[in-house]
Structure 1
């Protein structure tokens, strides 16, 4: 098959890739559940118990609190992600600032029952993203608009076995809302330019070529080739173990289960339904055309399980170090497939994710009864293989640099502030008939208020 023919098949096929690979990658797995954690790059979170927010990471930490404690706040995410690229026919496919700013709120409450038992509750967001390309963007079939919001409601309890061992178990209810839009971009031009190659290769008859060419010629760049919107609940659990050598040294193992979210929502495509038989006959992978009509669609999304080991050591009266390593089983996410009520495949994409890890190291300085200072560094390993990257979120390995502080007004009330700089590597990749370069960075700012009753 010629290079042009391969590009043409790819161009037609990628029009069906409504939800990009990165819509459910590390780019949408959030750590921002507390501002104190932000200030130390979320290092040692399973073993630190300086505010109620840590309990959402490890329910066993509930036993570290001797009175009811509240924490509430938000982290502001300010990303700067730019994409430059060209299509196979030479059109510019570049856009700056594809990711908008966002707020990630959090609420936490912990209450001991007695010396052995306690419970806690939290409201956080463990997953979320938003990317926005112009409707007339040349690679609109790859980019478009992607918006995922989640709300995680957690209820947990803990039991202290003795002075060394504590165990915790929690229940997670996750509400997810997703909206994805893709646009034709310059795909009609690419298809039209390569129809002769398809005819020569015997993939299209002259009659089919004329029909496809006429239909492609009537599709403008800002034609919405796919729109999918839905919301649903998913359920899972988390557990943690805390081992205390003494009051200054402790270690933790935590686990968060896989959560399956079965979306049932609305799907529509402005592509004419008359293209569907051609797609089926030739196996070109076109999105299912509805001529602008709305039909029911369903998609199963598997949010991966995660393991984390953490440690906290107070190495001097005023100094502590903390560290962690998290392992996320992203290899559970191998495909993305949406189907209609009639069994029609609305779109399909082979994902091929790999498991990923995150390592973090930080330090805390307890200056006096009023001021605490912290810092941290972390490395996020991307779960997306180089040949699977996509411009929706051109996922990449990331380095975190963080700093933060806590000011205690008295023994009951305090405020946390944290800031992180997240730097992603520059990457080059191909997606369908497009070649891209991308670079990204982000600043994160967080504030939380804490109160012990």
Structure 2
């Protein structure tokens, strides 16, 4: 595999739990609604991930912790009539279980100002097919890891308008493996079981920001809009070719690769229907098209090695949720969502075959006392019928190695959350009352 081709695999890696390589599972509370109304506060303090302005909806001093277990199942089954390497077999289940922890905190300074902090994991991927399978030259194991820290300041500008903003610091790390032919001993186009792996790895720390606002035009109605900026990562790492590819020994080359994670806009509406029932709506746009032409550069010379057209579309997410308060302690939640993936058949890869999907969620909340409450949620994701067509004209195609396959996939997610109020609600600073805008 060429240097540029393996770098391309780095940039093209895709995630399993949200469109592209994003991870949406940041809140057990919001997950119960399939993230409907996440920007308008349906996730309580954890809604800060989508809209930092919701911090002003939490009077006093609060903390939240959430933990999500993601269990994907993804099987890639090659077509034996159109895939020369089909004799090596299917991928097996390439989905790897993952745990995503998040944390949020807020502190009210006075009746107009709040400060807060969130720690999240916006991007991630772990896939691992069988070592020797029909698509080994296009992918073996893949790993993407991220961690994001976001302090914010929130201001209640008026009784009906709040705003907030803050910087983000994001760590991004990636490691990818693919089978590499060894032309020193076999023809360059040969694909044999047991071929060694080329490994690409790199990491970086990048900076961006979040901003948002909430509007309460009427009592019982909350509208929220949040923005997460793009973050450019200049990944530094290495590209390792195994022995027998270009030399009798393994060759490790320092590399740089430029990758920009997409910016995102989230809109939420929460409407109280009765004292016990609230309906939530959500819309999310993710600007995946910023990945269209990432650059690969030589670490030693700085020269551009290649421009890599990825041709991602933008991603869209639509959600509807409802909650019903059974009594002062128990609340039940439900939600559905439809997600338009930024990936289609023209560019879909074997790293993780992303496609449009339907989310169905249930959630439950329990208020233990004035300070402590718990949340739990379950989601099943139904993926649209998916295929992979790496043939001539596809951006990943290698001459002489077409790969055509069908994909079976679904995802189960279980999340738990804990919320705690550190101060005494009876003596806390009151938030400004919600009044009509006009």
Same-fold status (TM-score > 0.5): yes
Q: Which among 412, 419, 422 is matched to residue 450 of structure 1?
A: 419
Structure 2 equivalent of residue 30 of structure 1: 23
- Structure 1 residue 374, shift from structure 2 partner: 0.5
Per-residue CA deviation, residues 119-160 of structure 1 (Å, 9 max, x unaligned), is 110111111011112222231121211100100101001111
Does the Cα contact within 8 Å between 1:138 and 1:221 map onto a contact in 2?
no
Structure 2 equivalent of residue 143 of structure 1: 139
Structure 2 equivalent of residue 171 of structure 1: 167
Deviates more, 1:336-345 or 1:403-412: 336-345
User: Is residue 277 of structure 2 the alignment partner of residue 319 of structure 1?
Assistant: yes
The TM-score with structure 1 as length reference comes to 0.84
User: Is residue 357 of structure 2 the alignment partner of residue 398 of structure 1?
Assistant: yes
User: Is residue 320 of structure 2 the alignment partner of residue 361 of structure 1?
Assistant: yes
Q: Which among 99, 103, 111 is matched to residue 103 of structure 1?
A: 99
For structure 2, list consecutive stretches of 5 or more residues without a partner in the other structure.
391-396, 423-438
Q: CA 1:313 to 1:218, structure 2 compared with 1: closer, same or farther past 3 Å? A: closer
User: Is residue 251 of structure 2 the alignment partner of residue 255 of structure 1?
Assistant: no
Q: How far, CA to CA, are the matches of 1:217 and 1:399 in structure 2?
A: 40
For structure 1, list consecutive stretches of 5 or more residues without a partner in the other structure.
1-9, 189-210, 275-288
- Structure 1 residue 167, shift from structure 2 partner: 0.6
Does the Cα contact within 8 Å between 1:421 and 1:444 map onto a contact in 2?
yes
Q: CA 1:217 to 1:251, structure 2 compared with 1: closer, same or farther past 3 Å? A: closer
The TM-score with structure 2 as length reference comes to 0.86
Q: Which among 107, 128, 134 is matched to residue 130 of structure 2?
A: 134
Aligned length: 406
Q: How far, CA to CA, are the matches of 1:259 and 1:178 in structure 2?
A: 16
For the pair shown, the structure with the greater C-alpha radius of gyration is: 1
Q: How far, CA to CA, are the matches of 1:12 and 1:155 in structure 2?
A: 39
Q: CA 1:63 to 1:89, structure 2 compared with 1: closer, same or farther past 3 Å? A: closer
Does the Cα contact within 8 Å between 1:20 and 1:392 map onto a contact in 2?
no
* Structure richer in helix, relative to its length: 1
Q: How far, CA to CA, are the matches of 1:135 and 1:345 in structure 2?
A: 32
Q: CA 1:49 to 1:98, structure 2 compared with 1: closer, same or farther past 3 Å? A: closer
Q: Which among 415, 424, 430 is matched to residue 374 of structure 2?
A: 415
Does the Cα contact within 8 Å between 2:315 and 2:342 map onto a contact in 1?
yes
- Structure 1 residue 337, shift from structure 2 partner: 4.3
Q: Which among 2, 16, 41 is matched to residue 48 of structure 1?
A: 41
User: Is residue 424 of structure 2 the alignment partner of residue 428 of structure 1?
Assistant: no
Q: CA 1:349 to 1:450, structure 2 compared with 1: closer, same or farther past 3 Å? A: same
Q: How far, CA to CA, are the matches of 2:4 and 2:265 in structure 1?
A: 36
SS in 1 for 2:40: coil
Q: How far, CA to CA, are the matches of 1:437 and 1:144 in structure 2?
A: 18
- Structure 1 residue 248, shift from structure 2 partner: 1.0
SS in 1 for 2:222: strand
SS in 2 for 1:91: helix
Does the Cα contact within 8 Å between 2:319 and 2:337 map onto a contact in 1?
yes
User: Is residue 311 of structure 2 the alignment partner of residue 352 of structure 1?
Assistant: yes
Deviates more, 1:60-69 or 1:344-353: 344-353
SS in 2 for 1:172: strand
1:38-437 alignment runs, 5 A limit: 38-48=31-41, 51-86=44-79, 87-88=83-84, 90-184=86-180, 214-216=186-188, 220-270=192-242, 272=244, 274=246, 291-343=249-301, 349-431=308-390, 432=397, 433-437=402-406
